[in-house]
Structure 1
Amino acid sequence: MRHNKSGRRLGRTWAHRKAMFRNMARSLVTYGRIKTTEAKAKELRSVADKLITLALRNDLHARRQAYRVLENHQLVKKLFDEIGPRFVGVKGGYTRVVKLAVPRAGDCAPMAVIEFTRTAGEEPKPAKKKPAKAAKPAAPTPEAAPAEEAKAEAPVEETAAEAPAEEAAAEEAAPEAPAEEPAEGEEPKAEDKPAE
């Protein structure tokens, strides 16, 4: 039994698997996306995510740890200077595995594409706020339904008849324009004098 033995063996020895994932990690950093079998892509995810985590730390020790995997100074520089800054402020989910519909021609193995989730120059999306749940209105009882329909129809008819009356009332209630103030030296007219 394989208790506490995580990961897929992929039909290879430990050294062969380690070398294969190093090669695949180099290709992923170089090209940004690679096509491989689904099982290999899922296993490569953990290797690639650890490399991005090192790039986010961005110190000398992290660069040396990344060099142990990539074994290429140019790729380490690209990882830390170009790929790592894309994921600042992002907590995980640096890679995605997309399954392809067509299997491999030779052995019918399921294929997939593994790629980084962000492209160069892409802005991080703001976090979505969940809208507050509105209270559901109570379900009308069958007896109340006809009364509500009658109420809903009645205001439409009344508003059409009341509209001209409301406009006339609004015109009557409108305050009169203020009278002109007399110029200096003139006495106010009888209309302008306040009532005593």
Structure 2
Amino acid sequence: MRHRVDTFKVGRSSAHRRSMLANMVSSLFEHGSIQTTVVKAKAARSFAERLITIGKKGDLHRRRLAVSKLRDKGAVKKLFDEIAPGYEGRNGGYTRILKLGKRRGDAAEMCILQLVEVAAVEEAPKKEAKVAPKKAKAEEAPKAEVKAEEAPAVEAKAEEAPKAE
């Protein structure tokens, strides 16, 4: 009997499901968010959250466990060095699922699976980037006037060159 056995089968064999989830979570850790179907996202969310909890402990044994489950040393390195330390004060809830609607081809429910803290970190530099160009534009305006004054001098030099020939 399967009492209280809670596995999203996702319509795949167990080996295919493990490989798919490992690849999805590896991409999630590399990029911060992925777009997938809702059923796959729910399966990947539980897998990713378990790995982040393993990453918070941070010792060699936990790193080897993560490599055995994720199969991507680069993603494990990023998990232990960058992602897991950001969640030290949080007990679970490391990911979120944002629903997008139905896919055009087969009407499957699509969503974005993303790391919670990564979304907050990505939005902050965008706001700073918007502020910085405004200051730069104010500084560039006087330079443009100087360039306008230099332009006739450049044209005069260009006129002298054909006369010499």
Residues 36 and 121 (structure 1 numbering): CA distance in 2 closer, same or farther, change over 3 Å? closer
Residues 120 and 40 (structure 1 numbering): CA distance in 2 closer, same or farther, change over 3 Å? closer
Query: Which residue does 1:138 correspond to in 2?
Result: none
Q: Aligned residues, how many?
A: 121
Query: Which residue does 1:110 correspond to in 2?
Result: 109
Give 3-state SS (helix, strand or coil) of 1:115's partner. Answer: strand
Q: Give the superposition deviation at 1:85.
A: 1.1
Query: Which residue does 1:88 correspond to in 2?
Result: 88
Residues 120 and 106 (structure 1 numbering): CA distance in 2 closer, same or farther, change over 3 Å? closer
The TM-score, its normalising length taken from structure 2, stands at 0.68
Structure 2 CA distance, aligned partners of 1:66 and 1:24?
A: 14
Q: Give the superposition deviation at 1:3.
A: 3.5
1:32 has 2:29 as partner: no
1:46 has 2:43 as partner: no
Aligned partner letter, 1:21: L
1:23 has 2:23 as partner: yes
Aligned partner letter, 2:18: K
Post-superposition CA distance 1:97-151 (Å, at most 9, x none): 11113x11111000011010002885xxxxxxxxxxxxxxxxxxxxxxxxxxxxx
Structure 2 CA distance, aligned partners of 1:73 and 1:3?
A: 35
Residues 2 and 70 (structure 1 numbering): CA distance in 2 closer, same or farther, change over 3 Å? closer
Query: Which residue does 1:8 correspond to in 2?
Result: 8
Q: Give the superposition deviation at 1:89.
A: 1.1
Post-superposition CA distance 1:83-103 (Å, at most 9, x none): 1111011111001111113x1
Structure 1 CA distance, aligned partners of 2:120 and 2:37?
A: 29
The TM-score, its normalising length taken from structure 1, stands at 0.58
Aligned partner letter, 2:36: T
Structure 2 CA distance, aligned partners of 1:22 and 1:39?
A: 15
Aligned partner letter, 1:85: P
Structure 2 CA distance, aligned partners of 1:28 and 1:121?
A: 15
Structure 2 CA distance, aligned partners of 1:63 and 1:36?
A: 27
Post-superposition CA distance 1:70-94 (Å, at most 9, x none): 2222221111111111101111100
Q: CA RMSD in A?
A: 1.7
Query: Which residue does 2:59 correspond to in 1?
Result: 59
Structure 1 or 2, whichever has the larger Rg, is 1
Structure 2 CA distance, aligned partners of 1:62 and 1:109?
A: 36
Q: Contact between 1:25 and 1:44, CA under 8 Å: does it hold in 2? A: yes
More helix as a share of residues: 2
Larger RCO of the pair (alpha carbons < 8 Å, separation 6+): 2
Residues 121 and 11 (structure 1 numbering): CA distance in 2 closer, same or farther, change over 3 Å? closer
